[in-house]
C-alpha cells in the first residue's frame, strides 16, 4: 500500500473491538504503511477531521498488549447514520476530501449492522464516482447478528461474561431458599436476536444446574405461560433463575418493557432503548405469587467486561482487523471480513472477504433448530456452536489492584 490508512470504531462497544484496531495496526505496520490513523468517534469525528496517529500509542508490543486489554472503543464510537446519497453529496465529498488531505488510501470500519451500512454507502459512492479509495468492514457486535460470518467478534466475550456471571448469580440465589425459593430474573441485551440471551445456556455444567428458562425474542412472549412456568419451577426447586432478552415481545409486537413504560426512548437509528423488562416481570411474579423476587440487568457490563474476555474472541477480533488490511492490500473494497468455521473438534476458524451488500442491514436470528421445542431453552446444537467461542483467557494487567487500560491523550 502506498498511501496511509484510517481505522474507526462505531456503534455499541464490545470487550474486544480494540483488538481489531490492534489487528489493523499490526498488519498495516508489517506492510510498511507510513501513517496509520484512528478516527476519533467514528465517521462522525472523521467528518470533523478528528484523527489521531495510532503509531504514537502502539509503537511497541506493550502498547498492543494493553490495547487488547482495554474495554470499550479506544478511539471513541458514534451512532452516526450516513444520510442517503441523493441530496447529501456534500457529506460524501467531505469524507473523500479528508481522505485525500491525509493521503488515506483505505478506510477500515469496525462495527455491526448499522456500521456496515456506512461501509456500503461509502464504497457505493466511490464506485459511482470513480474514486480510488477503498472501504473495508471489520465485523464487531456483541449481538452476533451479522449474516454470512459464522459469528461476530465481541460475541464470545459477552457470552463468556454472561455465562460466568450467571454461574455466580445462580450460586448466590441457591444459598438461601430454605423455605421458599427466590425467583431471580436476569435481563440480557439483544433487541431482535437472542444470541446473547442464549449464552445463558452455557452456564450449565458439572458444577452448575444452569438457568431454569431462557426467553428469546425469536419466540412470542406469553405472560400466562410464563407465569405458569415460574409457578411450576417455584414448587419444585429451591432456587429459580430465569434469563430474558430485553427484546422479548408479546403477540401484538409490543415489547414487554413497553408494558411497564409506554414512553420508551428512541436512538438515532430509530431503535427503542430497552430496559426494565426484568424489573417488570419480577414485580409481576412477586405480586402474583408472593415469592421474593430479584431483577438483575447486566446492562453495560456485558459489552464492557474486558477483564472476562474470551481469548478466542480477542484473537479473532485481531485476525479480522489484520485480514481486512491484507484484503485491502489485494485491492478489495466494499467488503467485510467474515469468520468461517472449518471444524468443531478441534475448533478451527479462518476468514474471507465478502460483499458488503449481502451483509449491511441484514439481521440473523438464532436458528430455529437450536431452540428447544418448549421455546425456553437451547439444545446441544447451540452448545456445540457457542462453547468454543468462550474458550481461553487473557489475564488483565493489574495496577493498584485494578485492570489497567490504554487511554487517548
Rounded to the nearest whole angstrom, what is the least distance from the CB of residue 388 to its own copies in the complex?
A: 8
Rounded Cα distance between 308 and 395, Å, is 8
Task: By CB under 8 A, name the one of 120, 131, 134, 160 that touches its own copies.
Answer: 160
Contact 242, 230 (CB under 8 A): yes
Rounded Cα distance between 143 and 209, Å, is 25
Instruction: Give me 120's grid cell.
Output: 456500503
Contact 66, 404 (CB under 8 A): yes
Instruction: Give me 146's grid cell.
Output: 451479522
**Cβ density class 37-47: b for 16+ within 10 Å, e for less:** bbbbbbbbbbb
Q: Applying CB under 8 A, does 270 fall inside the site for its own copies?
A: no
Catalytic residues: 143
Task: By CB under 8 A, name the one of 8, 76, 137, 321 that touches its own copies.
Answer: 76
Q: Applying CB under 8 A, does 22 fall inside the site for its own copies?
A: no
What residues between 82 and 101 interact with its own copies by CB under 8 A? none
Q: Applying CB under 8 A, does 304 fall inside the site for its own copies?
A: yes
Residue in the block written with cell 501513517: 35
Closest CA to 64 of 28, 118, 98: 28
Rounded Cα distance between 266 and 287, Å, is 30
The alpha carbon dihedral of 79, 82, 88, 94 has a sign of positive
Count of residues for the chain?
409
Q: Applying CB under 8 A, does 73 fall inside the site for its own copies?
A: yes
Q: Applying CB under 8 A, does 300 fall inside the site for its own copies?
A: yes
**Residues 6 or more apart whose Cβ sits within 8 Å of residue 230:** 183, 240, 242, 285, 289
Q: Applying CB under 8 A, does 409 fall inside the site for its own copies?
A: no
What residues between 244 and 263 interact with its own copies by CB under 8 A? none
Q: Applying CB under 8 A, does 277 fall inside the site for its own copies?
A: no
Q: Name which of 52 and 203 has its Cβ closer to its own copies.
A: 203
Q: Name which of 130 and 263 has its Cβ closer to its own copies.
A: 263
Task: By CB under 8 A, name the one of 8, 13, 139, 334 that touches its own copies.
Answer: 13
Rounded to the nearest whole angstrom, what is the least distance from the CB of residue 329 to its own copies in the complex?
A: 29
Within 330-379, residue ranges assigned H as helices are none
Rounded to the nearest whole angstrom, what is the least distance from the CB of residue 16 to its own copies in the complex?
A: 13
What residues between 119 and 148 interact with its own copies by CB under 8 A? none
**Stretches 121-129, 138-146, 302-310, 326-334: which one binds its own copies (CB under 8 A)?**
302-310
**Number of residues engaging its own copies in binding (CB under 8 A):** 72
**Stretches 147-155, 288-296, 326-334, 344-352: which one binds its own copies (CB under 8 A)?**
288-296
What residues between 339 and 378 interact with its own copies by CB under 8 A? none
Task: By CB under 8 A, name the one of 124, 150, 174, 355 that touches its own copies.
Answer: 174
What residues between 376 and 395 interact with its own copies by CB under 8 A? 387, 390-393, 395
Q: Name which of 15 and 107 has its Cβ closer to its own copies.
A: 15
**Stretches 144-152, 299-307, 350-358, 370-378: which one binds its own copies (CB under 8 A)?**
299-307
Rounded Cα distance between 354 and 243, Å, is 34
Q: Name which of 44 and 197 has its Cβ closer to its own copies.
A: 44
Strand residue runs (E) in 79-177: 104-111, 134-139
Q: Name which of 142 and 230 has its Cβ closer to its own copies.
A: 142
Contact 275, 206 (CB under 8 A): no
Q: Name which of 152 and 390 has its Cβ closer to its own copies.
A: 390
Rounded Cα distance between 281 and 297, Å, is 12
Whether the link from the prior residue into 154 is cis, omega within 30° of 0, is no
**Stretches 103-111, 248-256, 275-283, 340-348: which one binds its own copies (CB under 8 A)?**
275-283
**Stretches 19-27, 87-95, 163-171, 374-382: which one binds its own copies (CB under 8 A)?**
163-171
Contacts 24+ apart (CB under 8 A), 273-282: 274/189, 274/191, 274/246, 274/247, 275/187, 275/246, 275/299, 277/187, 277/244, 277/245, 277/246, 277/248, 278/185, 278/186, 278/187, 278/244, 279/187, 280/256, 281/185, 281/226, 281/244, 281/256, 282/183, 282/185
Q: Name which of 275 and 319 has its Cβ closer to its own copies.
A: 275
**Stretches 104-112, 128-136, 206-214, 330-338: which one binds its own copies (CB under 8 A)?**
206-214
Using CB under 8 A as the criterion, what x/- string covers residues 24-63 for binding its own copies?
-----------------x--xx------------------
Amino acid at each position: 500500500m502506498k498511501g496511509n490508512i484510517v481505522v474507526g470504531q462505531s456503534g455499541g462497544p464490545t470487550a474486544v473491538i480494540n483488538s481489531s484496531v490492534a489487528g489493523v495496526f499490526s498488519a498495516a505496520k508489517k506492510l510498511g504503511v507510513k501513517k496509520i490513523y484512528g478516527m476519533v468517534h467514528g465517521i462522525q469525528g472523521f467528518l470533523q477531521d478528528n484523527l489521531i496517529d495510532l503509531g504514537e500509542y502502539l509503537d511497541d508490543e506493550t502498547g498492543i498488549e494493553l490495547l487488547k486489554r482495554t474495554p470499550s472503543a479506544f478511539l471513541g464510537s458514534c451512532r452516526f447514520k450516513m444520510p442517503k446519497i441523493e441530496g447529501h453529496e456534500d457529506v460524501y465529498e467531505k469524507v473523500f476530501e479528508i481522505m485525500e488531505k491525509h493521503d488515506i488510501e483505505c478506510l477500515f470500519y469496525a462495527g455491526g449492522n448499522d456500521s456496515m451500512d456506512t461501509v456500503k454507502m461509502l464504497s457505493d459512492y466511490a464506485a459511482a464516482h470513480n474514486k480510488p479509495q477503498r472501504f473495508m468492514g471489520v465485523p464487531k457486535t456483541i449481538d452476533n447478528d451479522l449474516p454470512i460470518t459464522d459469528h461476530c467478534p465481541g460475541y464470545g466475550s459477552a457470552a463468556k461474561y454472561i455465562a460466568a456471571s450467571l454461574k455466580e448469580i445462580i450460586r448466590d440465589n441457591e444459598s438461601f431458599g430454605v423455605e421458599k425459593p427466590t425467583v431471580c430474573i436476569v435481563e440480557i441485551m439483544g433487541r431482535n436476536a437472542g444470541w446473547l440471551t442464549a449464552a445463558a445456556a452455557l452456564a450449565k455444567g458439572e458444577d452448575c444446574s444452569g438457568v431454569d428458562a431462557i426467553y428469546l425474542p425469536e419466540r412470542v412472549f406469553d405472560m400466562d405461560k410464563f407465569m405458569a412456568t415460574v409457578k411450576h419451577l417455584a414448587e419444585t426447586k429451591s432456587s429459580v433463575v430465569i434469563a430474558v432478552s430485553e427484546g422479548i415481545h408479546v403477540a401484538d409486537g409490543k415489547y414487554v418493557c413497553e408494558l411497564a413504560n409506554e414512553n420508551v426512548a428512541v436512538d438515532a437509528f430509530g431503535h427503542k432503548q430497552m430496559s426494565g423488562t426484568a424489573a417488570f416481570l419480577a414485580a409481576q411474579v412477586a405480586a402474583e405469587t408472593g415469592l421474593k423476587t430479584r431483577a438483575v440487568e447486566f446492562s453495560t457490563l456485558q459489552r464492557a467486561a474486558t477483564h472476562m474476555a474470551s481469548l478466542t474472541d480477542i484473537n479473532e477480533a485481531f485476525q479480522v482487523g489484520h485480514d481486512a488490511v491484507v484484503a485491502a492490500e489485494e485491492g478489495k473494497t466494499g467488503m467485510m471480513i467474515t469468520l468461517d468455521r472449518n471444524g468443531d473438534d478441534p475448533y478451527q476458524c479462518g476468514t474471507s472477504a465478502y460483499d458488503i451488500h449481502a451483509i449491511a442491514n441484514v439481521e440473523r436470528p438464532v436458528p430455529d433448530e437450536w431452540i428447544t421445542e418448549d421455546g425456553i431453552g437451547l439444545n446441544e446444537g447451540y452448545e456445540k456452536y457457542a462453547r468454543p467461542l468462550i474458550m481461553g483467557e487473557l489475564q488483565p494487567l493489574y495496577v493498584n489492584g485494578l485492570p489497567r487500560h490504554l487511554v487517548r491523550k
